[in-house]
Chain A
Amino acid sequence: DGGITQSPKYLFRKEGQNVTLSCEQNLNHDAMYWYRQDPGQGLRLIYYSQIVNDFQKGDIAEGYSVSREKKESFPLTVTSAQKNPTAFYLCASSMMTGRGNQPQHFGDGTRLSIL
């Protein structure tokens, strides 16, 4: 189903290379999130943003960077400083209502591997 689109589905990174993962949503959600998923580790928060031009570090932000120039877009860059980037990356979004947490809706993910 639509709503949140992640691209590409598969991505390969060479040594010393930065790569950018795309996340776009048409749900008019204020908040967007990036998670990393490794086998047996669940979902770990990398960065999140609750408003345009503002974002916060999650639990594992080192080696990653983000931007939030538009409400519908929240790209994630995996920098060369991230020494173990191989993982499944999930983007999510949610409403911000001022009444506590709201359900997060996920994209289909990007699987990143090292060449």
Chain B
Amino acid sequence: GENVEQHPSTLSVQEGDSAVIKCTYSDSASNYFPWYKQELGKRPQLIIDIRSNVGEKKDQRIAVTLNKTAKHFSLHITETQPEDSAVYFCAAGGSQGNLIFGKGTKLSVKP
């Protein structure tokens, strides 16, 4: 079935450094790739998304890149801040209109 692999499962960086989270997907028909940030005990919130007709998208300190040939996409956070600490989920649009989620990456930004 459709699957999304996400790495790493945990990531610790120093404040000001960059963080990169990578995902691969199995369904070549997927054309929508959102990223969600979830703080402890709260709802996942969409932080950025990209469609398959675009290779890269940026929003301030956050960027997402997509390589359709290799079926992988990545989240890049620059100049990390302690408030970036959270669990980040990638997802790929499924053939039925649903989303297939990765298992998440717990990002810790140390002051």
Contacts and interface: CB of A to CB of B under 8 A. Distances in A.
B99 A90 contact: no
Interface stretch (A21-29, A39-47, A61-69, A73-81): A39-47
A85 interface: no
Given A58-B98, A103-B46, A106-B43, A42 B32 contact: no
Contact of A42 (B1, B98, B102): B102
A41 B103 contact: yes
Interface string A77-101: 0000000000000100000100011
B89 A103 contact: no
Contact of B42 (A40, A58, A108): A108
Contact of B98 (A48, A103, A105, A109): A48
Given A43-B44, A108-B43, A31 B97 contact: yes
Range, interface on chain B: 20 to 34
Contact of B89 (A33, A43, A45, A58): A43
Contacts of A41: 103
Contacts of B49: 103
Contact of A104 (B9, B31, B42, B99): B99
Contacts, number: 57
Contacts of A35: 101
Interface of B: 1, 6, 9, 31-32, 34, 36, 42-46, 49, 51, 89, 93-94, 96-99, 101-104
B103 A101 contact: no
B45 A101 contact: no
Contacts of A7: none
Given A100-B93, A101-B98, A105-B46, 13 more contacts: A33-B98, A42-B6, A43-B44, A43-B89, A43-B101, A45-B98, A45-B99, A48-B97, A90-B44, A101-B31, A102-B32, A103-B34, A108-B43
